[in-house]
Every structure is written in C-alpha cells, then in structure tokens.
Amino acid sequence: DGGITQSPKYLFRKEGQNVTLSCEQNLNHDAMYWYRQDPGQGLRLIYYSQIVNDFQKGDIAEGYSVSREKKESFPLTVTSAQKNPTAFYLCASSMDRANSPLHFGNGTRLTVT
C-alpha cells in the first residue's frame, strides 16, 4: 500500500543535541512538507520541498534544517538552536496542485529535556 512512513514514533533527546526525524513516501509525490503541531495552535509549516534538491522555508524554519536528495525522502533535523523543540511533528506529501490533498504520516512525538 502507498503511504508515508515517519520514524520513530517517539523520540527523546537531551537539550543541546541535534536530532533527525525520518520521512519516507512511496506515493510518487513531488511535494513534501514538515509541520509542527502544538496543542491549540493547529499546524505550522516548517519547510517544504516541491522537487528534489530544492526546498523552501515555511513560517517557523528557525532552528530546523532539511534535505531532499531523493524524491521519496525528506528528513528533518531539529538543531540545538530550536528554542522549544518538544512537539508533535508531521510529514506530508502531495501532488503540489491547488486541489491536491495532503497525505500525512502518523507523526513523531519529540521530547527534549
């Protein structure tokens, strides 16, 4: 079955450490996205990529980095510069057209102490 796989589901890190969240899709979608979800705030866009080897900052990119070396993969690194990294992170993909819905992974819950 086609879909998006995020791993791990839960991640724990010490403050000051970088951590990378994995996102893989086999839907042959061009566009991929990373969102951060905090209680009562909806989803906020961190980074997005419309094509391999290209990506754009979203609304809250500070303290995060991404790469898009393969169409199927869009890993997100949460760096030590991110002031409040504890959150639920969602990866999504789409055909990058106005009426194309997003397909979401099941998320990674990151806790930094």
CB of 60 to another protein, least distance (A): 13
Dist CA 113 CA 95 (whole Å)? 37
Collapse the DSSP code of 20 into the 3-class scheme (helix H, G, I; strand E, B; otherwise coil) and give the result. Answer: strand
Dist CA 54 CA 67 (whole Å)? 8
Per CB under 8 A, 83 contacts another protein: no
Span near another protein by CB under 8 A; candidates 13-21, 61-69, 76-84, 100-108: 100-108
Q: Which is nearer to another protein, 6 or 82 (CB)?
A: 6
Instruction: Please choose, from the candidates 66, 71, 70, the residue with its C-alpha nearest in 3D space to the C-alpha of residue 56.
Output: 66
| List of residues contacting another protein (CB under 8 A) | 4, 6, 40-43, 45, 50, 88, 90, 92, 96-99, 101-107, 109
